[in-house]
Structure 1
Amino acid sequence: MDESELEEELRNFGVDVHDVDEVDPVELSYITAYPGDEVNHMEMGKVLNAFLDMEEDDDWEATRVEATVLRFEDEVLNTWHAKAEWFEGLREYRISETEFSTRVLETLEEDLE
């Protein structure tokens, strides 16, 4: 899957993709629908579920996902990432959905300034 195909798939899941720079690892930036002070965890879940669904459908092979959440096109709200082994662990029932989510949430940068 190339960058344009990945972008299209993510848009189909309702993600407002700003850019996909790489596919291995995925370097994704998306514009949040919730431009408050903190990243919306439900929206993060939507992005992650898009990758999980693509993986389940054999449309995407698990790799590290580096996400930049934009408040607006030119204003970074925060960043987060998910490691390939976390996706694999979830798929193989070695970690729970809660543990997967917790690991990703712990990668949110505390202070970007």
Structure 2
Amino acid sequence: MTIDESTLARELRADGIDVADVRVSPDRVAVVYTTTLPAERPAHGEMGRVCNTVIDLVEAGDLEPCRVDATSLRFEDDVQATWHVEAEWLDGVTNYRISEEEFSARVLDTVETDPDVEADLGDADTPRATDGDDGGAR
């Protein structure tokens, strides 16, 4: 993996994602972003842009397929949803073993609109959008 947090944040922002925080570890990427559509469920277009950014980075060799954990915020302290991508799905879609439709369906199946955010935010590898430490991502 050659990408760092600030580069990943810049790539996501270039694809229209309002990044609040990004964390990169050898086996996982965690992204917190603020949605432009603060509804009950996350906007599929924003989810797709996050996924496409990661897929592009994997295809370019800048990121190894790894788990991606995403948290969509309505506002600073208001979690809209969490969702994730498994490393195997990234590997499958980039190597044409699963279709883009199958990949999307799997990601959409992971959406949780009532996540246990307290537990997730306590994890050292999980981004904290409100802790003031942007991890160099801004």
* TM-score with structure 1 setting the length: 0.92
Q: Distance in 2 between matches of 1:70 and 1:46?
A: 16
5+ long unaligned stretches in structure 2: 117-138
Deviation of 1:7 after TM superposition, in Å, equals 1.0
Q: Higher mean Cα deviation, 50-59 or 79-88?
A: 50-59
Paired position in structure 1 for 2:97: 94
Match of 1:7 among 6, 9, 19: 9
C-alpha contact (below 8 Å) 2:29/2:69 kept by paired residues: yes
Q: CA RMSD in A?
A: 1.4
SS in 1 for 2:101: helix
Matches within 5 A, 1:48-59: 48-59=51-62
**Identity of paired residues, percent?**
51
Specify the alignment match of 2:23 in structure 1: 21
Q: What is the distance in 2 between the residues matched to 1:112 and 1:54?
A: 28
Normalised by the length of structure 2, the TM-score is 0.76
Is residue 42 from structure 1 mapped to residue 41 from structure 2 by the alignment?
no
Q: Which secondary structure does the structure 2 equivalent of 1:60 belong to?
A: coil
Q: Deviations over 1:23-56 (max 9, x none)?
A: 4300110001111111111111111011111222
For 1:81 and 1:67, the matched residues in 2 are separated by 6
Could you say which structure has the greater relative contact order, defined with CA pairs below 8 angstroms and 6 or more residues apart? 2
1:21, CA displacement in angstroms? 2.4
1:98 corresponds to which letter in structure 2? Answer: E
